[in-house]
Structure 1
Amino acid sequence: MGGKLNSSFTDASTNWVGNFLDDEVDGRFTPAEGRQYLQNLSDQAVGTGRFRYANFTQMVMSADMNQQDARAYVNNYTDAVSLDMYWYTIPFCSNVPFRQNYILPITQENCRTASSYGTTMKALRQQDATDGKLQAPWQFVELLNGGPGEGPFTANVSADQLKGAVMASVINEARGIVYFNQSLSGPCQGGSLIRQAQTTSGFCGADQVRAASEVNNQIKSLAPVLNTQSYQYSFGSGLDTMLKSYNGDAYVFAMIDGKSSPGSRTFRLPSEFSASSVEVVGENRSIPVSGGVFTDGFANESSYHIYRVKL
């Protein structure tokens, strides 16, 4: 995806599947200039057979940008769209006073949590839906940190936080995950973190790269489930969930929401379900169901569970 890797690439190259129009145009141009610039790039990609993709800054989900411009950026030029906001590792969540300026509220108490990545995806989908046509929303997640090179350094994302950010995005209908593969600040820096983890023994970002591989493999193994239509259903308070059905089983992807703290959660299954237990996928355990209800724990804000329920 992007430009030609070398002179051997042609429009018929089967490994060249998408056109990357540009990155963060909304932060580098005036709205009028940025829209015209993207229109020109989008027009050049028409008829190539490749999908068009662009990434934006968090401004497209912010009330600070004129909403007509924000929605035009998201809707008018692409087939797949993302934005980057690295909640775990940039200073924003620690700012005093804290300024809530997003179209979907994020509180300072729960700002630096996986739920904020889910809210980001929800906000992007809300902007995308305003023209009545849906495209593929993608999510950026930092492999180590998203802080600027000039500082200040805030933190590196932990392995569990990285996996939670990815799953919160998937639960909120992300159709793709893009990893920020650089670290420009802090004690562990690099311009190609995945490659460094592969080639450098004891690399300081190895745990995070390994976590990305683990959650990627988990998502791949569940691709037949994830590629089905989701159902609208509320399992209970304090939860962020996604419900799927595949091959005679229901699947419930679950995390805590962005308004509460870790701990125990109670799930009420749809009345059509008659299962006496649920399997916790990948955790080698099951939970009994009584009266259509089961309970499970979420030890941390980034914890997630996937339940399989026989139909």
Structure 2
Amino acid sequence: MNHPRSRPTPPAERESPGTRLYGLVRPSMAAVVLAMAFVAGGCHAPEGPAEGDGRAGVSGDGSSAGKSVSEPDGGVDYYGRFEHGLPTSEEYFPIGLWLSSVTDEGQARHEREAGLNLYVDLTEDSNLDFLDDERQRALTSWSSPDSAGAVLGDEVDMWAGAGSGEWTGNFPGQGPICLDEKRPCGLTVQQQLASGVEPGVMTYANYGKGVTFWFSDHEASRFVSGPQDVVSADNYWFTDPNICAVHEGGTTLPEPRALTASECRLPANYGWTVQRLRNLMEPRGSKPVWAFIEIGQPFQDGTEAPPSVAQIRAAVWSSLVHGARGIVYFGHSFGGPCPTFHVLRDCGSALLEGVSDINAEVTSMAPVLNAPTIEGAVQVEGDVDATVTWHQGSLYILSTAASPEPGGARFRLDCVRDATVNVVGENRRLTVHDGQFTDGFPDETTVHLYEIAADSCEP
């Protein structure tokens, strides 16, 4: 639901209609979206990506810690653990839309043709019978036998705080949240919501600025490692009017300060958010982290323009490079030139076609994204984030710009002396000579996906 707010305090009480979530009364998600003030957060430190990436296979300083192989977080068969859940094929990669509505077959077909295979919550007037059983799934905050999973409280860290106090059962707009306002109860909220979900059903929760940079690592880890089976956090780097401030994005720097526009409105920051959650997960790598990216304008007083297609694509791939196992788009606009609940339906062909192309690209690379990663196989010199995977006889290097003007990068491979590099989707080839090749990264939206046929690199 993701409503940006500048501090982790509940909004003023407002009446809103109540609906039932797995035995608990809560306001409808659409009502809460419209009732609450917005919140967001996060930041990619200008110095580079977070340390200790258990999935990334390339380091930006040219160093190597030795090769090792890692499965995607949760394991390749993670979604197969749940009843009536998500597909387990290597060709499947979750690409979802946050809190939409589907009230006729044409709406479902529209999003399906855009490459979206998942709804991450739907309004309660939606009808899941309109979804294509083979190509579309839905996670819902309301009980349905056709749901592929349950959505727990959204941004609970923001509106209930970091604590295990007693919960009143109220949601934002319904009255006091925690029985004792001096004892935050966010952890209790999620635990009680999760306890109402039937055994074997996958649960999902999204968090906000509390987890990403307001709370201590210990407090934040308790949310990220909590009762949900899949987790994300919404940090709207492109549009949030507050996120560049010293007490938000600036807190990720060794010496906090406000971020400049070029440091803040950076696609690589979305990868930082994913990495933040992965670093907080205990046990490490035990659950999938999904990325959360706005494709509209979630703020009435945010940036003048929504993110461009190039920015969205770079944010998606930065997230994937940092180990995201799914993508969720925030498709609402509460400001800007196209205010709507459905930006992909209402805001023009350029956005729709651009996001559709991104989704097609990600889906085509799903087997690579679901494949094991090889840490230490490649070193990169340059301001570039990258990860290395192995699939069907080929080494894949997935790379994105890590700064506003990264320039060029040099890739050094320890398993290949001479080879041809196919730059996926760009109709060009490079040459590995004496174990290395170079490429250009002209700006912050640059994404390069490299494929090298090399049996010698098999882990």
Q: TM-score range by the shorter chain?
A: 0.7 to 0.9
Q: Provide the TM-score with structure 1 as the length reference.
A: 0.86
Distance 1:180 1:208 in 2: 13
In structure 2, the partner of 1:256 is 401
Question: Residue 230 of structure 1 contacts residue 243 of structure 1 at CA under 8 Å; is this kept in 2?
Answer: yes
In structure 2, the partner of 1:144 is 296
Please show how residues 169-208 of structure 1 align to structure 2 within 5 Å: 169-197=319-347, 203=348, 206-208=349-351
Identify if the C-alpha distance between structure 1 residues 94 and 78 changes in structure 2 by more than 3 Å, giving closer, same or farther.
Answer: closer
Identify if the C-alpha distance between structure 1 residues 27 and 282 changes in structure 2 by more than 3 Å, giving closer, same or farther.
Answer: same
2:408 maps to a residue whose letter is S
Question: Residue 103 of structure 1 contacts residue 123 of structure 1 at CA under 8 Å; is this kept in 2?
Answer: no
Question: Residue 90 of structure 1 contacts residue 153 of structure 1 at CA under 8 Å; is this kept in 2?
Answer: yes
Q: What is the DSSP-based 3-state SS (H/G/I as helix, E as strand, rest coil) of the residue aligned with 2:289?
A: strand
The C-alpha deviation readout for 1:155-186, integer Å capped at 9, x for no partner, is: 31011000000000000000111100101111
**How big is the shift at 1:194?**
1.8
1:170 maps to a residue whose letter is L
Q: What is the DSSP-based 3-state SS (H/G/I as helix, E as strand, rest coil) of the residue aligned with 2:252?
A: coil
In structure 2, the partner of 1:298 is 441
In structure 2, the partner of 1:52 is 203
Q: If each structure's helix is expressed as a fraction of its own residues, which one has the higher value?
A: 1
Query: What fraction of aligned residue pairs are identical, expressed as a percent?
Result: 30
Greater relative CO, 1 or 2 (CA 8 Å, sep 6+): 2
Question: Residue 384 of structure 2 contacts residue 401 of structure 2 at CA under 8 Å; is this kept in 1?
Answer: yes
Identify if the C-alpha distance between structure 1 residues 289 and 122 changes in structure 2 by more than 3 Å, giving closer, same or farther.
Answer: same
Distance 1:289 1:132 in 2: 34
* 1:276 matches 2:419: yes
Distance 2:201 2:409 in 1: 44
Q: Which of 384, 387, 411 is the equivalent residue of 1:267?
A: 411
Q: What is the DSSP-based 3-state SS (H/G/I as helix, E as strand, rest coil) of the residue aligned with 1:89?
A: coil
Q: Number of residue pairs matched?
A: 296
Q: CA RMSD in A?
A: 2.7
Distance 2:273 2:128 in 1: 38
The C-alpha deviation readout for 1:260-303, integer Å capped at 9, x for no partner, is: 6232221112x211342201011111012221111111222011
Identify if the C-alpha distance between structure 1 residues 136 and 7 changes in structure 2 by more than 3 Å, giving closer, same or farther.
Answer: closer
Please show how residues 106-117 of structure 1 align to structure 2 within 5 Å: 108=260, 109-117=262-270
In structure 1, the partner of 2:46 is none
Distance 1:136 1:174 in 2: 7
1:244 maps to a residue whose letter is T
Larger CA deviation: 185-194 vs 115-124:
185-194
Q: What is the DSSP-based 3-state SS (H/G/I as helix, E as strand, rest coil) of the residue aligned with 2:425?
A: coil
Identify if the C-alpha distance between structure 1 residues 27 and 196 changes in structure 2 by more than 3 Å, giving closer, same or farther.
Answer: same
Q: What is the DSSP-based 3-state SS (H/G/I as helix, E as strand, rest coil) of the residue aligned with 2:374?
A: coil
The C-alpha deviation readout for 1:121-156, integer Å capped at 9, x for no partner, is: 11111111x344621101110112232x3x244431
Distance 1:139 1:262 in 2: 23
* 1:29 matches 2:125: no
Distance 1:308 1:193 in 2: 34
Q: Which of 212, 216, 221 is the equivalent residue of 2:364?
A: 221
Question: Residue 295 of structure 2 contacts residue 312 of structure 2 at CA under 8 Å; is this kept in 1?
Answer: yes
**How big is the shift at 1:35?**
1.1
Question: Residue 239 of structure 2 contacts residue 302 of structure 2 at CA under 8 Å; is this kept in 1?
Answer: no
Distance 2:375 2:431 in 1: 24
* 1:165 matches 2:315: yes
Q: Which of 126, 135, 143 is the equivalent residue of 2:287?
A: 135
Identify if the C-alpha distance between structure 1 residues 12 and 142 changes in structure 2 by more than 3 Å, giving closer, same or farther.
Answer: closer
Distance 2:427 2:344 in 1: 30
Q: What is the DSSP-based 3-state SS (H/G/I as helix, E as strand, rest coil) of the residue aligned with 2:373?
A: coil
Identify if the C-alpha distance between structure 1 residues 31 and 97 changes in structure 2 by more than 3 Å, giving closer, same or farther.
Answer: closer
Identify if the C-alpha distance between structure 1 residues 211 and 239 changes in structure 2 by more than 3 Å, giving closer, same or farther.
Answer: same
**How big is the shift at 1:214?**
1.0
2:148 maps to a residue whose letter is V
Question: Residue 384 of structure 2 contacts residue 406 of structure 2 at CA under 8 Å; is this kept in 1?
Answer: no
Question: Residue 93 of structure 1 contacts residue 112 of structure 1 at CA under 8 Å; is this kept in 2?
Answer: no
**How big is the shift at 1:107?**
5.3
In structure 2, the partner of 1:200 is none
Question: Residue 149 of structure 2 contacts residue 204 of structure 2 at CA under 8 Å; is this kept in 1?
Answer: yes
In structure 2, the partner of 1:20 is 151
**How big is the shift at 1:112?**
1.1
Identify if the C-alpha distance between structure 1 residues 45 and 207 changes in structure 2 by more than 3 Å, giving closer, same or farther.
Answer: same
Question: Residue 265 of structure 1 contacts residue 296 of structure 1 at CA under 8 Å; is this kept in 2?
Answer: yes
Identify if the C-alpha distance between structure 1 residues 275 and 107 changes in structure 2 by more than 3 Å, giving closer, same or farther.
Answer: farther
The C-alpha deviation readout for 1:74-94, integer Å capped at 9, x for no partner, is: 111111000001101112355
Q: What is the DSSP-based 3-state SS (H/G/I as helix, E as strand, rest coil) of the residue aligned with 1:30?
A: coil
Q: What is the DSSP-based 3-state SS (H/G/I as helix, E as strand, rest coil) of the residue aligned with 1:191?
A: coil
